[in-house]
Amino acid sequence: MQYRTLGHTGIQVSTLALGAMNFGSLGHTTQDEVTTMVDTALERGINLIDTADVYSRGESEEMVGKAIAGRRDAVVLATKSGLPMGDSRNHQGSSRRWLTTSVEDSLRRLGVDHIDLYQIHRWDPRTSDEETLRALTDLQRSGKIRHFGSSTFPAYRIVQSQWAARENHLTRYVTEQPNYSILQRGIESHVLPVTQQYGLGVLTWSPLASGWLSGAIRAGRDIATSRSTFMPHRFDPTIPSNQSKLAAVEQLATLADSAGLTMIQLALAFVTAHPAVTSAIIGPRTIDHLHSQLAAADTTLSTDTLDAIDTIVAPGTDLAPSEKNDTPPALLDAALRRR
């Protein structure tokens, strides 16, 4: 396992991070299965675990807490807040009111007295940067969180939040967690240059593109993954963007074979090869998934292989732009762009 410094924090983290989205009811995983995966990840050198309050409505945090009990100091623990945690209008977002409640809920579920990295799951257009940053700064000063970061923020919002922190003499975000894979490279043209400019750590999610780069999805096969059941549009072969992804996957599979690599090794090593990336978050649902992903921990791609990837999916290109989850609200809601 390789390690890198998380932004300017001085914290050393593994280049593969254990993502806990599939822990609990979403991934149909039991506590014993989760503990086994955490045990294996730690034994193989992973020291960063990333979860969120919304994953299985808190169940993921509870399972992670039980799995790391007695070895809290061995783990760099990250969680997130901001997506809806119920039907209440105020049980979401990044207001001071909600953050001061949600952090206490996460601490309780995780069974810890502090969180190493507390992340805002999505930019909240209803709340000012000053409000959010002041609440996070106060939580940091109280010792409940060590550092805080953002997740899936558009580049311009990252810049704005950095400016707001400086203007109001508040602590700034130290990390960003964007969607990044061979099939979704758009952040190379806008987000990653900004994170490098401000020295932010980058923890990428979905490096296997929701299973498209796992090796299980190929032309002529029925697409059946855990994601295809609750996100069918992302796997519908009649949709042009999915046809583009499948065409790229076929070329990438040939490239991986010629390099003597699995598709998973190719996909994860591509993400961690970018100098702006600190860690790639893997999200195994089973211990077999974890083992196949850990095999990429020390994989390094040659320049020729990286160049070949660039010819299949051009740098800075998203094959499915609608799946990025960072689209400005006015592009999604016509009322926001009409007088």
The residues carrying an active-site annotation are 55
User: Which residues on adjacent β-strands are paired with residue 202?
Assistant: 176
Let me know: does 193 contact 25? Beta carbons within 8 Å.
Answer: no
Q: Taking the CB of residue 60, how many other CB atoms lie within 10 A of it?
A: 28
Cβ neighbours for 246, distance < 8 A, ≥ 6 positions apart: 217, 219, 237
Structure tokens at 142: 């109280």
- From CA 122, how far away is CA 1, in angstroms rounded? 30
Are 250 and 219 a contacting pair, CB within 8 Å? Answer: yes
